[in-house]
Structure 1
Amino acid sequence: MTRREALASYDVTIGHHRRDGVPYAFTNRARTWLVDLDDVPELPKGLSRLCSFAARDHMGDGARTLRENIDGWLRSSGVDRPASVRMLASPRVLGQVFNPLSLFYCHDAEGALTHVVAEVRNTYGGRRCYLLEPSADGRATTEKTFYVSPFHGVDGDYELRVPEPGDELSVTVTLRRPGRPAFVATMRGTRSADARLITALRRPWANLTVVVMIRVHGIRLFLKGLRPTPRPEHQPDESFHLTQ
Structure 2
Amino acid sequence: MTETQRVAIVTGGSRGIGRETVSRLAADGLALVVVYAGRSADADSAVEEVTSKGGRAIAAQADIADEQAVSAVFDRAEQEFGGVDVVVNAAGVMNEPTPLVDLSLAEFDRIHRTNVRGAFVVSQQAARRLRKGGALINFSSSVTRLRAPGYTAYGASKGAVETMTLVLARELRGRDITVNAVAPGPTATALFLENNTQEAIDRLSSAPPLERLGQPRDIAEVVAFLAGPARWVNGQVLYANGGIA
TM score, norm. by length of structure 2? 0.29
Q: Between the two structures, name the one with larger relative contact order (CA 8 Å, sep ≥ 6).
A: 1
Task: Give the number of the structure whose residues are more often strand, by fraction.
Answer: 1
TM score, norm. by length of structure 1? 0.29
